[in-house]
Amino acid sequence: MASRGDHLFKGDKAFATGDGWLARLVAPAFKPVIDKLDARLERGGIHGILPDGTRREVGFNAPGHVATVHLQSYMALVRLALAGSVGWYKAWEKREWTSPDPVPLCALFMDNALSLGDTARAKGPLRWVNALAHRLRDNGLVKARENIAAHYDLGNDFYSPWLDPTMSYSSAIFEEGDDLETAQRRKVDALLDRLDLKEGDRLLEIGCGWGSLAIAAAQRGASVVGLTLSIEQKAWAEEKIAEAGLSDRIEIRLQDYRECDERFDAIASVEMVEAVGERWWPAYLDCIHRNLAPGGKAALQFISIDHRLFPAYRESADFIQAYIFPGGMLLDEPAFKTLAAERGMRWEDRHGFGVDYAETLKIWRERYDAAVAKGQLEGFSPRFHDLWRFYLMYCEGGFRGRGIDVAQVTLRREG
């Protein structure tokens, strides 16, 4: 019997995970992968237990993240060596490796990504297969709607038990003593403060989510148009907007950003650009330039990957692209900044806060586990819950390893 969210496992058929009878036959020959990891881990290390029960210390050449891993089968090394993070997740799902806490391991891999090189990345034919599978999900006008629906239309009843009351699905900004809702409202205020909104200003929000930023902007006196491709988000946002008495100030549209051509005093976009894909970065920035009044400001919150890692990242596909965000791509910030400059938009006041995202993800996972324990997430299989937990841990580790970052920036249209 099909369960909710099963469509995300289509990645098993589209992407190579290092499986097959030949891989199982030669799996013990991949034991030297451990030696490569040992030599290339510059910081931190792994307390390892091999399939035969032997204990092995890997790395520990300098202080850093420390993980514990029980390697149940050498197939895990096959998948890691041939299919990178896609294969490593598959090995975790199959319990070919276990850990009391995968977050430090993900952080360790990210912190050492440069020195590890291709040791933990997809390579050879499997890399090409996964790169092609990712490209086939390219965010053209039709495919973009399918990709967004695959993730965001899992259901409002799925997201609401573990997100905060604002339904913010992006990094918060914490100060000491903050709970999640307070930190999420601080994030929204920080972004809106960049725009200097005046009473009656028109604001375009590209990727409006469940409407919390639009409501906050309208409460400051702005007239807001929010764009989304998610039917579920639109329904939730309109209900909350009506409850706030702001239906006359906010319009939520099911519209692709590439189809919007109006004039706005300001633009906001929170963690939307990661969903468009590298091919569409120019179109996204063209949308901002086209819709923004001369001299106007756009405030963005975005997730980027270390510029030095981007070439290898773009050549294949990772676990997130295979199973969680089809068609997604983290920003190469220098390249994106150059594209903005070519369109006459000045890059101002960048503020990064990756550690805050790690904390946000940790809280989401705790709330997610609590929601599962209370029976609040109905219709989803244990396999799906394992996938979602791994996603939250994988991302938290990435931010703790500082290979990915989240930032806010202001783009000012100069002409």
Q: Which amino acids are annotated catalytic?
A: 395
Please report the DSSP string for 346-391 in residue order: EEEEEEE-HHHHHHHHHHHHHHHHHHHHTT-STTB-HHHHHHHHHH
Shortest CA distance to 220 belongs to which of 236, 194, 199, 235?
A: 199
Beta bridge partners of 254: 228
Shortest CA distance to 14 belongs to which of 244, 240, 321, 301?
A: 321
Mention every residue, 6+ apart, whose C-beta is less than 8 A from residue 298. Answer: 266, 267, 268, 269, 288, 292, 345, 410, 411, 412, 413
Q: How far apart are alpha carbons 395 and 405 in whole angstroms?
A: 11
Give the tokens for residue 373: 């324990």
Shortest CA distance to 123 belongs to which of 78, 158, 154, 164?
A: 78
Q: Is 206 helix (H, G, I), strand (E, B) or coil?
A: strand
Q: What is the DSSP letter of 264?
A: E
Shortest CA distance to 151 belongs to which of 35, 322, 314, 402?
A: 322
304: number of Cβ within 10 Å? 23
Give the tokens for residue 51: 């399939």
> Measuring CA to CA, how many Å separate 220 from each of 249, 252, 261, 353, 409?
11, 18, 24, 25, 20
Shortest CA distance to 301 belongs to which of 196, 409, 387, 373?
A: 409
